């Protein structure tokens, strides 16, 4: 099951390498930083929306159906984007990568999560970390790969189109491995093991009831603020580090900036498996205290040091991205603790609307402020100081929301679903 999950998540995780395409697109199609972020922003919006609306369908039709839909949409999105780049029609890139590809992101993202929780019910943090680890690590592959393609094919509109085409075809082949491998556990797979009776013990809350609880909305705020703080750096990572140290004696080259994106991806990936596994030991609320509290401190260090220390900037950014990834990987286990395993996939899908909101807020804050600071004649690290202070405020709000999380009131509980003979759960009346 872990290889099946990774084959999909390593592919759709390419979205975190979008910043490698930003400078070539801006040059080839004469776009602003805000405009070049739009395909990425729309992809994240569609991720959350498709996960919210598709979560119940994933639970009903199974992970193989979901991975097939994700494969078709994600790869088709790249092919449409390739056509848009070749014809210099920017709206086709937005439609392909942002809208169609974003649907593939959402369905693909949630497809293995609830399945792995069912396979590893005694270690939900580790299970979700395995499932979501690949999404954070996708840019570790895609960033240098994309940079090399742009160098080989050229960074004009034709080179960008060819790079998009190669991405779409390659990911279609790789994601097909997940479609072939994945399956849900049957009753006999878990019979006689600790996992069998523990999968649906304790509190069980339906997806419909979960969205009516304050716990759901507290976690929505927690996820939204944590994601906004991380995605603001991630979406603009390559141009950000270039701008930040442009006025120093050691400016950052384009290849080094792509390497920085890959490092961030590694931290994102490591945080997903490391921090989510740690949450099985120290608890979900405690680990989110680390994400949100220490994350605010990291942003404060970057803002106060400016461009005086490149190692400090890189180190703090890596820590922030590890918290960002850890937050994604831990949230399904947090949901499972509060609402049970019954419809955790559907609940997780609804919660990912917080990611849609953050996918707009984070890049919008960073790009809009940076564009206006440039118009005002500022440059270097001064382009991002205000953005970082806003991120600190958001993390403080998220920290407060996490402190308000309490166990779900018994009136929202439903009886644990019985296991049917074929291994599928019966729906309650």
Rounded CA-CA distance 225/271 in Å is 17
Q: What are phi and psi of 193, to 5 degrees?
A: -110, 165
pLDDT value at residue 96: 95
Give the CA angle between residues 211, 215, 218 to the nearest 5°.
Answer: 100
Rounded CA-CA distance 158/164 in Å is 10
Closest CA to 413 of 210, 215, 219: 210
Determine the 3-state secondary structure of 384 from DSSP.
coil
pLDDT value at residue 340: 83
Rounded CA-CA distance 141/143 in Å is 6
Closest CA to 333 of 66, 121, 49: 121
pLDDT value at residue 169: 95
Residue with tokens 């649907």: 103
Tell me the β-bridge partners of 425. Answer: 419
Residue with tokens 């701008």: 243
DSSP letter string over 328-363?
Answer: HHHHHHHHHHHH-STTHHHHHHHHTHHHHHHHHHHH
Tell me the pLDDT of the chain (429 aa) as tens digits.
778 888 898 899 888 788 889 889 998 888 887 788 899 889 988 988 898 887 778 778 888 888 999 999 999 999 999 999 999 999 999 999 999 999 999 899 888 877 787 788 777 778 778 777 777 678 778 888 998 999 999 889 999 999 999 999 999 999 999 888 888 776 555 544 444 445 556 678 888 889 999 999 999 999 999 999 888 777 777 788 888 888 777 888 877 887 887 788 788 888 888 898 899 899 999 999 999 999 999 999 988 888 788 889 899 999 999 999 899 889 988 998 898 877 787 888 889 889 888 878 888 888 888 888 888 777 767 788 888 899 999 999 999 999 999 988 888 777 654 443 333 444 443
The set of residues, in sequence order, having a beta carbon less than 8 Å from that of 375 and lying 6+ positions away, is: none
Helix (H) or strand (E) holding 320: helix 310-339
Q: Are 73 and 130 a contacting pair, CB within 8 Å?
A: no
The set of residues, in sequence order, having a beta carbon less than 8 Å from that of 346 and lying 6+ positions away, is: 55, 56, 58, 59, 207
Rounded CA-CA distance 51/378 in Å is 40
pLDDT value at residue 398: 96
For the four alpha carbons of 214, 215, 217 and 221, in that order, the dihedral sign comes to: positive
The set of residues, in sequence order, having a beta carbon less than 8 Å from that of 374 and lying 6+ positions away, is: 383
The set of residues, in sequence order, having a beta carbon less than 8 Å from that of 332 and lying 6+ positions away, is: 113, 114, 117, 124, 128, 131, 132, 344, 348
């Amino acid at each position: 099951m872990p290889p099946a999950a990774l084959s999909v998540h390593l592919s759709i995780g390419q979205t975190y390498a979008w910043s490698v395409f930003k400078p070539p697109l801006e040059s080839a199609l004469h776009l602003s930083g805000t405009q070049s972020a739009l395909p990425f922003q729309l992809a994240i919006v569609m991720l959350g929306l498709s996960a919210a609306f598709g979560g119940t369908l994933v639970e009903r039709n199974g992970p193989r159906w979901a991975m097939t839909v994700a494969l078709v949409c994600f790869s088709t999105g790249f092919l449409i984007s390739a056509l848009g780049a070749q014809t210099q029609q920017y709206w086709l890139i937005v439609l392909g990568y942002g809208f169609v590809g974003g649907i593939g992101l959402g369905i693909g993202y949630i497809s293995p999560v609830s399945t792995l929780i069912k396979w590893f019910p005694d270690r939900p943090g580790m299970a979700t970390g395995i499932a979501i680890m690949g999404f954070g690590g996708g840019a570790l592959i895609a960033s240098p790969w994309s940079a090399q393609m742009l160098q080989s094919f050229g960074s004009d509109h034709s080179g960008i189109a060819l790079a998009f085409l190669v991405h779409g075809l390659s990911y279609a082949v790789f994601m097909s491995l997940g479609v072939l491998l994945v399956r849900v556990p049957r009753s006999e797979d878990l019979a006689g093991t600790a996992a069998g009776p523990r999968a649906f013990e304790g509190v069980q809350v339906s997806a419909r009831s979960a969205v009516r609880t304050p716990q759901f909305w507290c976690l929505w705020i927690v996820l939204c603020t944590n994601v906004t703080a991380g995605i603001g750096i991630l979406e603009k990572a390559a141009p950000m580090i270039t701008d930040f140290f442009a006025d120093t004696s050691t400016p950052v080259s384009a290849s080094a900036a792509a390497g920085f994106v890959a490092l961030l991806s590694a931290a994102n990936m490591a945080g997903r498996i490391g921090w989510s596994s740690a949450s099985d030991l120290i608890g979900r609320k405690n680990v989110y205290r680390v994400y949100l509290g220490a994350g605010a401190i990291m942003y404060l260090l970057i803002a106060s040091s400016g461009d005086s220390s490149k190692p400090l900037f890189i180190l703090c950014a890596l820590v922030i991205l590890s918290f960002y990834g850890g937050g994604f990987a831990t949230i399904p286990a947090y949901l499972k603790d509060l609402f049970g395993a019954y419809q955790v996939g559907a609940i997780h899908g609804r919660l990912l609307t917080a990611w849609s909101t953050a996918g707009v807020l984070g890049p919008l804050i960073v790009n809009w402020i940076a564009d206006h600071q440039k118009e005002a004649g500022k440059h270097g690290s001064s382009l991002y100081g205000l953005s970082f202070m806003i991120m600190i405020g958001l993390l403080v709000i998220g920290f407060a929301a996490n402190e308000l999380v309490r166990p779900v009131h018994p009136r929202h509980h439903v009886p644990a679903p019985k296991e049917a003979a074929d291994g599928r759960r019966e729906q309650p009346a």
